[in-house]
């Protein structure tokens, strides 16, 4: 088991983050490769209320494998705004705000790729973004090395915390679950979650 001060550090950070009234953001995409792009965005506020939810019409077709994960088809996004059209509204929401993202590296890469495909100058949430996955890994405390913690999937994290929200692989739902995880971490104080083989298998 990790040192008892480590999850407490995660708890204190979660509390500080919530005090800043962050937004929580998630995407669904055409795939995961280097030219994949965003086809759905979901942004919720610190209370889990939807601030913005929209399909995004991509420049390429959605892969069969991606549709098998999130259920979004090419027909569903046919009349949606493009990334270039939805980005100004997102940019306005993100301005001056902390933004929590589960696996932030992935979503920020997808934002960068979507910007590039639409010839937009790169403007992300930058230093205001924080990774809920890394925060939760520190809190859960399953060692991956001497100074690292094993990342948990969003689905497993929700189950481990007993949060009755789905990991539906739809953007607003998953942003809402990430928000709930940060609230859960902040609320627990010095208490600990028990590891379960059921969730780590």
Instruction: CATH number of the domain at 84, please.
Output: 3.30.420.10
Distance in Å from the first CA to the final CA of the chain: 18
pLDDT at 137: 95
pLDDT range class, residue 193, cuts 50, 70, 90: very low
* CB-side neighbour CA atoms (13 Å) of 96: 1
Distance CA 161, CA 86 (A): 33
Distance CA 128, CA 124 (A): 9
pLDDT at 6: 55
Helix axes 132-140, 171-188, angle to 10 degrees: 40
User: What are the Cα distances from residue 153, in Å, to 44, 116, 118, 142?
Assistant: 20, 28, 30, 13
**pLDDT above 70 (res 68):** yes
pLDDT at 53: 98
Distance CA 45, CA 52 (A): 9
pLDDT at 161: 94
Distance CA 193, CA 191 (A): 7
Contacts of 147 (CB under 8 A, 6+ apart): none
The pTM assigned to this predicted structure is: 0.89
Count of domains forming the chain: 1
Look at 63-72, 96-105, 120-129 and tell me which has the smallest mean pLDDT: 120-129
Express as a percent the part of the chain with pLDDT over 90: 82
8 A C-beta contact, residue 123 and residue 163 = no
- Domain of 96 in residue numbering reads as 5-200
Q: Work out the average pLDDT over 57-71.
A: 97
pLDDT digits (tens, 9 = 90+) for 11-51: 999 999 999 999 999 999 999 999 999 999 999 999 999 99
Calculate the average pLDDT of the chain.
90
**pLDDT above 80 (res 124):** no
């Amino acid at each position: 088991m990790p040192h008892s001060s480590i999850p407490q550090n995660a708890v204190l950070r979660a509390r500080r983050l919530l005090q800043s009234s962050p937004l929580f953001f998630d995407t669904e995409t055409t795939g995961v490769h280097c030219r994949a792009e965003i086809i759905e965005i979901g942004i919720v506020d610190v209370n889990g209320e939807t601030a913005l939810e929209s399909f995004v019409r991509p420049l390429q077709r959605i892969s069969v494998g991606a549709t098998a994960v999130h259920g979004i088809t090419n027909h569903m996004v046919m009349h949606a705004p493009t990334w270039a059209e939805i980005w100004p509204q997102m940019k306005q929401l993100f301005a001056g705000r902390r933004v929590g993202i589960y696996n932030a590296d992935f979503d920020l890469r997808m934002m960068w790729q979507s910007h590039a495909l639409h010839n937009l100058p790169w403007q992300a949430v930058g230093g205001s973004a924080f990774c809920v996955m890394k925060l939760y890994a520190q809190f859960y405390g399953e060692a991956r090395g001497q100074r690292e913690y094993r990342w948990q999937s969003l689905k497993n994290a929700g189950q481990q915390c007993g949060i009755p929200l789905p990991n539906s692989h739809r953007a607003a739902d998953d942003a809402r679950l990430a928000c709930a995880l940060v609230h859960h971490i902040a609320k627990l104080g010095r208490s600990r979650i028990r590891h379960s083989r059921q969730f780590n298998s």
